[in-house]
Amino acid sequence: MSTQQQLIIIGNGMVGHHLVEQLVERGAHKRYAITVFGEERHLAYDRVHLSEYFAGRDAESLALSTGDYYAEHGIELRLDEAVTTIDRDRGEVVTPQGRYPYDRLVLATGSYPFVPPIPGNDREGCLVYRTLDDLDAIRAAAENAATGVVVGGGLLGLEAANALRGLNLDTAVVEFAPRLMPMQVDSEGGELLREKIEALGVQVLTERATQRIEDGEAGQHRMVFQDDKVLEADLIVFSAGIRPRDELARESALELGERGGVVIDDRCLTSDPAILAVGEVALWNNSIFGLVAPGYRMARAAADTLMADALEREPETFRGADMSTKLKLLGVDVGAIGDAHGDRTPGARMFRYLDQIKQEYRKLVVSGDGKKLLGAMLVGDNATYDTLMQYYAGGIELPADPASLILPSSDGAPALGPDALPETAMICSCHNVTKGDVCASIDGGAADLGSVKGATRASTGCGGCAALLKSVVEHELESRGVEVDRSLCEHFAHTRQELYDIVRVEGIKTFSELMETHGNPETHRLGSPSAPRLGCDICKPAVASILASCFNEPITDAAHIPLQDTNDTFMANMQKNGTYSVVPRIAGGEITPDKLVVLGQVAQKYDLYTKVTGGQRIDLFGARLEDLPAIWGELIEAGFETGHAYGKSLRTVKSCVGSTWCRYGVDDSVGMAIRLEHRYKGLRSPHKLKFAVSGCTRECAEAQSKDIGVIATEHGWNLYVCGNGGMRPRHAELFATDLDDEALIRTIDRLLMFYVRTADRLQRTSVWRENLEGGLDYLKAVILEDSLGINDELERQMQAVVDTYECEWANAIRDPEKLKRFRSFVNDSRPDPDIIMTSERGQLRPA
């Protein structure tokens, strides 16, 4: 007869699933028969990235686990089955499908979106933004809508506004408070945030209390405000905060807070010792925590409580959580650390920096003696967030001039190397991993980065701490006398930088020659010992990039093709349905009407979806593999060439219209953008590169978010370097000022070639710059002062790349052998029958 106790978890959201993982990690699935009830039909999914559902992700890609994981550990997962009653007297939960006994019960029911009690809030087309089903409803409603309004200007409200923009709706945000995100930013930060969001085309209405919603004239709904002003919209989304889902606890007479939430103690126990609560339904010390990281901490404490007598250590308890956040909302950086408003600590002092031209706001809250960071606020640029967070979380003493942490005249916050971080420094906030935890895992036998991740789970959440974790692990291993293996892979006992030098110095032009002369001798031979070594998915593309950077031979040559991934092999990006994109170069965004006509004719002839991109190009999607040569043949005949959208190389040089047309322009940004794009279009690099050129400091081309950013001044060009957008945005840094045309080109030549020579594989310029010992000052010394005596060589190498440039597609279509690769099946010339398209908004898209 089984001695297992019955453990029921109500809720399969992010926190509920994390609790399951923690229980499995502690072996609780051997002690308890665990049943998990999920009200939704979907497995637990990542609500943090919910807005990406409208950008193409589906429920499966957002899922945090699989049904197999639950089955593998003997956990019964009952999705689409809502618990309606908790019968505490009988120790049972009730669902429409039956009654289920429990010995221990965990409430992980989360929260629901608050809908203000406004007359008319239940009209058709008035929706909420919380679950995947909610998003499906919003998407369906948006098909017959042109305008949308979000009620709520907090974090969730701005995420909802971003979703409506993604559905091509004219969007407005209505907020009751005097500013957006009132919990995170102050009045100055809120005003700047408002300006940046309005610049994106989103209308912002603050201090507006909606009195009622009624029939509209221009739209389906009319919102009437307290001052009788009105706003009309076809779709209204309520995202005005959350309320705990505590109805089960209320009906079963568990103790609740005055404003809701199930009261818990430090062990996550409710007023019934058989029942625990975690996540947004739980009220600890009169506080509800609306972020996932505190919920994860509760999950760990609850797992320890359930396994307390089996633990060989003191059980973890929940003692509150830091609510610091780093966000990117509608493309705008917002960061809040600790006491960001400075109203929780008597005697606190503040430093503020506001740049209305660059639209950046930074604020520090420090202790009265100026030695400790109590809080920080960032709007427009989160580049210093991680460093400031370490000062705050680690209690590290501030520099003598705390203002240097936020002033642009400095190099930003003084770098905190791994040795400067205390044991308490938080490395991974998702899983609450400190530097001390990392060190303990190394002392416990973890001898490489992967082992540390496995032992601590650090960097397995959002991944934002990956670079910091790597540097800490390598530093701690080396401090213990362990040699850190920085080999590229098992086939080469060299770093990417060392291989670059070997190829350059020895003139090695093929992968096989490099492998024979410098590869590990016993790796991946086929058949006899004399057979060639093959390499792997790490070293082959890395060496391919090195060879292209050094010698600029066509990547489609027979010797190089085996090294390329699918995109480089066919010189096109493969899309989700097996078709490919065609991206011709449109240097600087400038294109003649004749060439526009050609693009339209080609798109019509081959049924291609067309889109104008943020990089000022026109992308053509849906090309079948066998049609690529014919498409490119027509484009090249019309004067186009490859745009390298598939390669780790220069993608685009964005520009404004500059002094040619704009009354504010002080120099020809279009001409310079075209010059830069044509000069560097053949450069293969460790990561993709993006440039921009603005004709004045109004910065319409967004140059300060690019790898290379150029801004015209009255005296020449200012050069910004090593910025990027993407998952971890980084602001570019001012590198040189008032350069003439030739000095600008010369400086960029040197910097790019130095990056190509010294960066790690797949390392963006921003990460490369962050990892340079000596930082920006060192880079300036190398490039501007020639401290290493290599600038002439760097310039010669770049000129060689420029002189040997050839359009890769032009090269391919002249060679019948190369064209043989362009068919879906090796033994059949017919097209792929599994490619099915449908029509949307007048164009084809994947079915």
pLDDT digits (tens, 9 = 90+) for 700-730: 999 999 999 999 999 999 999 999 876 567 8
CA distance linking residue 111 with residue 786, whole number of Å: 59
By C-alpha distance, which of 708, 726, 655 is closest to 463? 726
pLDDT computed for residue 51 by the predictor: 74
> Are 681 and 791 within one domain?
yes
> Are 654 and 800 within one domain?
yes
Q: Is the predicted pLDDT of residue 492 greater than 70, yes or no? A: yes
From residue 232, how far is each of 69, 80, 148, 224, 827 by CA, in Å?
48, 36, 9, 9, 60
> Are 27 and 153 within one domain?
no
CA distance linking residue 248 with residue 549, whole number of Å: 63
> Are 286 and 228 within one domain?
no
> Are 470 and 519 within one domain?
no
> Are 43 and 91 within one domain?
yes
Residue 491 lies in a domain: no
Residue 363 in tokens: 């604020």
Angle between helices 449-456 and 466-479 (to 10 degrees): 110
pLDDT computed for residue 454 by the predictor: 81
Mean pLDDT of 219-238: 92
Mean pLDDT of 696-700: 90
> Are 788 and 717 within one domain?
yes
CA distance linking residue 281 with residue 19, whole number of Å: 14
> Are 675 and 724 within one domain?
yes
Residue scoring higher pLDDT (475 or 352): 352
Give 743-749's long-range contacts (Cβ < 8 A, gap of 24+).
743/716, 744/672, 744/710, 744/716, 744/717, 744/719, 745/675, 745/676, 745/679, 746/795, 747/719, 747/783, 747/784, 748/676, 748/680, 748/708, 748/719, 749/794, 749/795, 749/798, 749/799
**Residue where one domain finishes, among candidates 515, 547, 570:** 570
Mean pLDDT estimate for the chain: 88
Q: Which of 167-171, 417-421, 520-524, 775-779 comes out lowest in average pLDDT?
A: 520-524
Sheet holding 275-277, edge to edge: 76-79, 32-38, 5-10, 104-107, 275-277
Residue 92 lies in a domain: yes
Q: What is the CATH number of the domain that holds 185?
A: 3.50.50.60
Q: Which of 481-485, 506-510, 635-639 comes out lowest in average pLDDT?
A: 481-485
Residue scoring higher pLDDT (288 or 428): 288
pLDDT digits (tens, 9 = 90+) for 168-199: 899 999 999 999 988 889 999 989 999 888 88
Q: What is the CATH number of the domain that holds 402?
A: 3.30.390.30
Measure CA of the first residue to CA of the last residue in the chain; give whole Å: 53
Q: Is the predicted pLDDT of residue 216 greater than 80, yes or no? A: yes
Residue 690 in tokens: 């993006």
pLDDT computed for residue 413 by the predictor: 46
Q: Is the predicted pLDDT of residue 642 greater than 80, yes or no? A: yes
Mean pLDDT of 387-415: 76
Residue 822 lies in a domain: no
pLDDT digits (tens, 9 = 90+) for 605-621: 999 999 998 889 999 99
From residue 351, how far is each of 63, 180, 331, 373, 737 by CA, in Å?
42, 22, 26, 11, 27
> Are 164 and 262 within one domain?
no
> Are 451 and 545 within one domain?
no
By C-alpha distance, which of 176, 164, 257, 292 is closest to 223? 176
CA distance linking residue 427 with residue 186, whole number of Å: 28
CA distance linking residue 460 with residue 18, whole number of Å: 13
Eight-state DSSP code of residue 574: B
Q: Is the predicted pLDDT of residue 415 greater than 60, yes or no? A: no
Residue 396 lies in a domain: yes
CA distance linking residue 47 with residue 621, whole number of Å: 30
> Are 180 and 255 within one domain?
no
CA distance linking residue 175 with residue 337, whole number of Å: 23
Residue 829 lies in a domain: no
Residue 255 in tokens: 């103790």
CA distance linking residue 338 with residue 679, whole number of Å: 47
> Are 509 and 381 within one domain?
no
Which residue range forms the structural domain that includes residue 43? 5-112+244-310
By C-alpha distance, which of 437, 352, 332, 434 is closest to 389? 434
CA distance linking residue 52 with residue 92, whole number of Å: 38
CA distance linking residue 192 with residue 187, whole number of Å: 9
**Residue where one domain finishes, among candidates 535, 570, 605:** 570
CA distance linking residue 710 with residue 685, whole number of Å: 20
Q: Is the predicted pLDDT of residue 122 greater than 80, yes or no? A: yes
**Residue where one domain finishes, among candidates 222, 240, 258:** 240
Residue 208 lies in a domain: yes
pLDDT band at residue 312 under the 50/70/90 scheme: confident
Residue 131 in tokens: 């679950």
Residue 841 lies in a domain: no
Residue 406 in tokens: 């936020």
CA angle 811, 816, 822 (to 5 degrees): 85
Mean pLDDT of 392-418: 73
Q: Domain total for the chain?
A: 5
pLDDT digits (tens, 9 = 90+) for 559-604: 888 888 778 888 888 887 788 999 999 999 999 999 999 999 999 9
Residue 295 lies in a domain: yes
Contact 838, 792 (CB under 8 A): no
pLDDT digits (tens, 9 = 90+) for 67-82: 889 999 999 999 999 9
pLDDT band at residue 463 under the 50/70/90 scheme: low
CA distance linking residue 148 with residue 146, whole number of Å: 7
For residue 238, the SS3 value is strand
Contact 373, 391 (CB under 8 A): yes
Q: What is the CATH number of the domain that holds 761?
A: 3.30.413.10
Look at strands 32-38 and 76-79 and give their pairing: parallel
Beta bridge partners of 672: none
